[in-house]
């Protein structure tokens, strides 16, 4: 038996004994790879004499062609067998129930709204609501806005078409403060009770969550947003009560033992004195850390209810005092849960909601934790 015949017999025998496509590939590399036995014979043809090349060339090329065909056939055969075995082993029983998928999430704004409601309910506050479309009296006049205040202008507020009979222009409420007015007013012409805030006699302790509308649009402002405002009316109420209430709320909201806060003088038409509440924070490194660093971040506005507001609601400011506060729910959600941009919160993208959303089966409460 010649050397070529013995080499071919050895390769074909090894190929016939291969049981996997990986073993076939190993034989191919050993024979036809750059340093393979058959490849070496093909390279050696250049050193042969013309007579030797004429005699052995066809034999070597024939060996290469037969081996290539055998390798391809054996590899195809084994790959088909491997695929059949894989399909048999990975067969899915379609009679089994599907893996359950989470369907739906609670929006971060609604989650934070529920968290705020749970916290103030613990402090004895009730929830009051009012209409999204308001009249000038409840949205501006009763809240001590002067006649030419910028908020009464078209560039700040969404006005509806004037009533053809009365000429009155309704507005999309710019804050939830009208709910405070509707809660304090106890008059014969008060709108009927229902989901709209019903007037009641003091003492009063309510929060008013809801949608509000202003002509703003950027990374931290949208034309529609959500607010929660609070109102306390009683005898002997002072700024100390306001500070304790808000410091207690903010600490519990961010789930901390205490929060370092300061109150800066400010101006709101409906409160006097007025203040903005800041909390100490560190914003370095792209992460918000509370009670650290030298930065201060404004988080809400507040103040003592202006005597003119009390009078407009039929209450005697010499007998009743109170405080009010308001905060943006969407921005609180951004701060607490690390949401960088306000605008996607209103874009109805289910991918965004699946990332930032909350389980609908775990309601915020103080016993098991807000978030």
Helix/strand number for the chain, H first, E second: 11, 10
Least confident of 57-71, 86-100, 189-203, 214-228: 189-203
Q: What is the pLDDT, as a whole number, of residue 52?
A: 81
Q: Which pLDDT score, from 0 to 100, does residue 13 have? A: 84
Q: CB under 8 Å to 78, separation ≥6 — which residues?
A: 18, 19, 20, 21, 24
The pLDDT of 7-31, averaged and rounded, is 84
For the chain, the C-alpha Rg in angstroms (whole number) is: 39
Q: pLDDT tens across 76-121, in order?
A: 888 888 888 888 888 777 788 877 776 788 999 999 999 999 999 9
Structure confidence at residue 260 as a pLDDT band (50, 70, 90)? very high
Q: What share of the chain is helix, strand, coil (3-state, %, to 5)?
A: 40, 20, 40
The pLDDT assigned to 196 comes to: 52
Q: Is 70 exposed, middle or buried (0-12, 13-18, 19+ CB in 10 A)?
A: middle
For the ranges 28-37, 147-156, 299-308, the one whose mean pLDDT is highest = 299-308
Quick check: 194 pLDDT over 50?
A: no
Q: Which residues pair with 159 in a beta bridge?
A: 171
Output the pLDDT for position 193. 46
For the record, the structure tokens of 165 come out as 């009979």
Q: Is the pLDDT of residue 304 over 90?
A: yes
Q: Which residues pair with 282 in a beta bridge?
A: 289
Q: What distance in Å separates the CA atoms of residue 278 and residue 300, rounded to the nearest whole number?
A: 8
Tell me the residue length of the chain. Answer: 371
Q: Which of 145, 78, 196, 93 is nearest to 309 (CA)?
A: 145
- Region 227-237: mean pLDDT is 95
Q: Are 212 and 175 in contact (CB under 8 A)?
A: yes
pLDDT at 291: 87
CA distances from 30 to 4, 15, 46, 56, 60 (A): 15, 11, 21, 21, 16
pLDDT at res. 223: 85
Residue 221, classified by CB atoms within 10 Å of its CB into exposed (0-12), middle (13-18) or buried (19+), is middle
Q: Is the pLDDT of residue 22 over 90?
A: no
Question: How sure is the predictor about 179, in pLDDT bands with cuts at 50, 70 and 90?
Answer: very high
In 3D space, the residue among 245, 244, 178 whose CA is nearest the CA of residue 208 turns out to be 178
Taking the C-alpha atoms of residue 246 and residue 232, their distance in angstroms, rounded to an integer, is 12
Give the model's pLDDT for residue 155. 60
User: DSSP class of residue 365?
Assistant: B
Cβ(208)–Cβ(197) below 8 Å: yes
Segment 315-320 mean pLDDT = 92
> Using 50, 70 and 90 to split pLDDT, how confident is the model at 267?
very high
Say what the pLDDT of residue 290 is.
87
Q: What is the pLDDT of residues 341-360, one digit of tens each?
A: 888 888 888 889 888 888 88
Tell me the angle at which helices 50-89 and 21-32 cross, rounded to the nearest 10 degrees. Answer: 170
For 139, the 3-state DSSP assignment is: helix
The proportion of the chain whose per-residue pLDDT surpasses 70, expressed as a percent, equals 92
Instruction: Decide if pLDDT at 69 tops 50.
Output: yes
Q: Across residues 43-47, what is the average pLDDT?
A: 79
Q: What are phi and psi of 301, to 5 degrees?
A: -115, 155
Where is mean pLDDT largest: 60-64, 100-104, 126-130? Answer: 126-130
Q: What is the pTM (predicted TM-score) of this model?
A: 0.68
């Amino acid at each position: 038996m010649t050397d070529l015949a013995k080499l071919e017999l050895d390769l074909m025998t090894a190929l016939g004994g291969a049981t996997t496509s990986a073993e076939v590939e190993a034989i191919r590399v050993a024979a036809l790879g750059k340093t393979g036995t058959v490849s070496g014979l093909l390279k050696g043809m250049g050193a042969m004499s013309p007579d030797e090349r004429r005699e052995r060339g066809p034999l070597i090329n024939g060996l290469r062609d037969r081996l290539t065909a055998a390798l391809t056939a054996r590899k195809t055969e084994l790959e088909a067998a491997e695929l059949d075995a894989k399909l048999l082993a990975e067969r899915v029983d379609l009679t089994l129930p599907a893996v359950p998928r989470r369907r739906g999430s609670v929006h971060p704004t609604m989650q934070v709204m529920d968290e705020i409601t749970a916290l103030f309910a613990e402090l004895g506050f009730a929830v009051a609501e009012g209409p999204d479309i308001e009249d000038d009296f409840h949205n501006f006049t009763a809240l001590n806005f002067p006649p030419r205040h910028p908020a009464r202008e078209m560039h700040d507020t969404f006005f509806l078409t004037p009533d053809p009979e009365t000429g009155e222009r309704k507005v999309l409420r710019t804050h939830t403060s009208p709910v405070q007015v509707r809660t304090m007013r106890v008059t014969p012409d008060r709108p009927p009770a229902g989901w709209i805030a019903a007037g009641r006699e003091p003492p009063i302790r309510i929060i008013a969550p809801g949608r509000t509308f202003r002509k703003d649009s950027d990374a931290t402002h949208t034309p529609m947003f959500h607010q929660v405002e609070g109102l306390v009316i009683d005898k002997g109420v002072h700024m100390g009560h306001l500070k304790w209430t808000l410091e207690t709320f903010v600490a519990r909201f961010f789930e901390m033992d205490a929060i370092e806060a300061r109150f800066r003088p400010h101006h709101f038409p409906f409160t006097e004195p007025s203040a903005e509440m800041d909390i100490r924070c560190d914003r370095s490194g792209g992460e918000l850390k509370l009670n650290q660093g030298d930065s201060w971040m404004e988080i809400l506005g507040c103040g003592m209810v202006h005597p003119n507001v009390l009078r407009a609601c039929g209450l005697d400011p010499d007998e009743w005092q109170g405080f009010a506060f308001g905060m943006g729910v969407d921005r609180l959600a951004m701060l607490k849960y690390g949401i960088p941009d306000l605008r996607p919160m209103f874009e109805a993208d289910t991918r965004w909601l699946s990332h930032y959303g909350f389980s609908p089966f775990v309601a915020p409460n103080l016993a098991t934790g807000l978030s």
